[in-house]
């Protein structure tokens, strides 16, 4: 009786083969069960693309209402820009998977892109196409092109003067207000004498002191800087004082236990703990400074956005006035964004402990 002798590794070989075949079957089953990835465009981007192309069609092919003296300039140029935005949004919607970080940055703006095209279309129809909002008090969107292209040098000079005035006033007011707030919040003597003055004189609008500022100041520019600094000073001083006065006393006790001096307590304990309140005061001071800027520039200065607004109103150039107001909105929004960025960098230690 002949018997075949099997190698000692035979059971292991059979087990390995069985395991491999089982793995292949499971992977094949998983491959059949897993649905194939399908390409899908950006839905809101497609809607926004259609909206901007519709705006371009309305602007280009719907005749403007006769003005009696001329047609609205840059109508076709505005239509071309709207069409270009629509085509660009269409390309972004189709190629969303290849744009990476740019698409992730643009995606949250989808509803605003739709709303922006819709608002511009309504603005176009009510002004240039039907005249429901009569000229020259209301101008269509393409009139802004005329302002920024034809009157760009004068508007740019006004922006430069306003920025110079605004930066000088805000820096002076914020610095003096910060020092005053720390002094009042830390010193009992200053709190007794200065705090009542802040509460009594602070609510007085800075623009109400316009005649006195122009009488005592050596020039109209210095008077405008003083008014802007005064408008910035009050919220920064009050909120800095509030932040320093409300610092947790246990922080001081711990620092004193470790041998901290009074200057260390002020510079390394009180001021860092009060910084969130300081930034709130800076935000409030920035808004107040913009309000006073227009009032100050309407009196005695020869350039600036306030002067430009007054000049546009005097010549009934309402399109120029709307263009200057749009520039002011963009300028204020940009400065607020920069201030938010600065706050996030300075208060980076708060992340994880404070909900932003």
What token pair was written down for 224? 């405008």
Find the largest Cα–Cα distance for the chain.
130
What token pair was written down for 136? 């020259």
Q: pLDDT per position in the chain (356 positions), as tens?
A: 444 444 444 444 444 444 444 445 444 444 454 544 455 789 999 999 999 999 999 999 998 886 654 578 899 999 999 999 999 999 999 988 788 888 899 999 999 999 999 999 999 999 999 989 888 788 899 999 989 999 999 999 999 999 999 999 999 999 999 999 999 988 888 888 888 888 887 777 887 787 788 777 788 888 888 989 999 999 999 999 999 988 888 888 888 888 888 888 888 888 998 999 999 999 999 988 988 888 888 776 778 888 898 888 888 888 999 999 999 999 989 999 999 999 988 888 766 555 54
> d(Cα 21, Cα 325) in Å, to the nearest integer?
74
Phi/psi region, residue 19 (left: phi>0; alpha: psi -120 to 50; beta: rest), is alpha
DSSP letters along 216-255, please?
Answer: HSSSHHHHHHHHHHHHHHHHHHHHHHHHHHTS-HHHHHHH
| Helix or strand (DSSP H, E) at 319 | helix 318-346
CB under 8 Å to 254, separation ≥6 — which residues? none
Other C-beta atoms lying within 10 Å of the C-beta of residue 226:
22
Predicted local distance difference test score (pLDDT) of residue 5: 47
- What's the whole-model pTM score? 0.76
Predicted local distance difference test score (pLDDT) of residue 2: 47
- Read off φ and ψ for residue 354, nearest 5 degrees: -125, 135
Does the domain formed by 152-350 have CATH 1.10.3720.10?
A: yes
Predicted local distance difference test score (pLDDT) of residue 66: 67
Predicted local distance difference test score (pLDDT) of residue 144: 92
CB under 8 Å to 62, separation ≥6 — which residues? 125, 129
DSSP letters along 190-217, please?
Answer: HHHHHHHHHHHHTTS-GGGGHHHHHHHS
Residue 133 has what DSSP assignment? S
Residue 2 has what DSSP assignment? -
> d(Cα 259, Cα 189) in Å, to the nearest integer?
25
What is the domain partition of the chain in residue ranges? 43-138, 152-350
Other C-beta atoms lying within 10 Å of the C-beta of residue 23:
10
């Amino acid at each position: 009786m002949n018997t075949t002798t099997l190698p000692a590794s035979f059971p292991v070989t059979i087990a390995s083969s069985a395991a491999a075949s089982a793995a292949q079957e499971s992977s094949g089953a998983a491959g059949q069960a897993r649905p194939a990835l399908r390409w899908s465009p950006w839905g809101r981007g497609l809607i926004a693309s259609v909206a901007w192309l519709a705006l371009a069609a309305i602007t280009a092919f719907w005749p403007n209402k006769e003005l009696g003296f001329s047609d609205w300039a840059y109508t076709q140029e505005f239509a071309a820009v709207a069409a270009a935005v629509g085509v660009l949004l269409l390309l972004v919607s189709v190629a969303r998977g290849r744009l990476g970080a740019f698409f992730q940055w643009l995606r949250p703006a989808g509803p605003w892109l739709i709303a922006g095209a819709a608002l511009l279309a309504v603005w176009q129809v009510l002004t240039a196409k039907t005249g429901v909002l009569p000229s020259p008090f209301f101008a269509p969107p393409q009139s802004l092109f005329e302002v920024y292209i034809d009157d760009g040098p004068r508007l740019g000079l006004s922006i430069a003067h306003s920025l110079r005035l605004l930066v000088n006033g805000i820096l002076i007011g914020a610095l003096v207000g910060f020092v005053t707030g720390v002094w009042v919040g830390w010193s009992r003597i200053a709190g007794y004498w200065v705090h009542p003055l802040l509460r009594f004189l602070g609510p007085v609008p800075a623009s109400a002191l316009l005649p006195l500022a122009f009488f005592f100041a050596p020039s109209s520019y210095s008077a405008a800087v003083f008014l802007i600094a005064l408008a910035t000073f009050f919220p920064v001083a009050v909120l800095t004082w509030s932040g320093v006065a409300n610092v947790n006393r246990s922080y001081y006790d711990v620092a004193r236990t470790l041998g901290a001096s009074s200057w260390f307590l002020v510079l390394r304990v009180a001021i860092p703990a009060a910084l969130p309140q300081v930034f709130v005061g800076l935000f409030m001071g920035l808004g107040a400074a913009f309000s006073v800027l227009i009032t100050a520039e309407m009196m005695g200065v020869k350039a600036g956005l306030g002067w430009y607004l007054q000049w546009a109103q005097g010549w009934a150039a309402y399109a120029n006035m709307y263009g200057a107001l749009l520039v002011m909105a963009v300028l204020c929004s940009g400065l607020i964004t920069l201030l938010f960025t600065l706050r996030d960098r300075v208060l980076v230690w708060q992340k994880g402990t404070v909900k932003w």
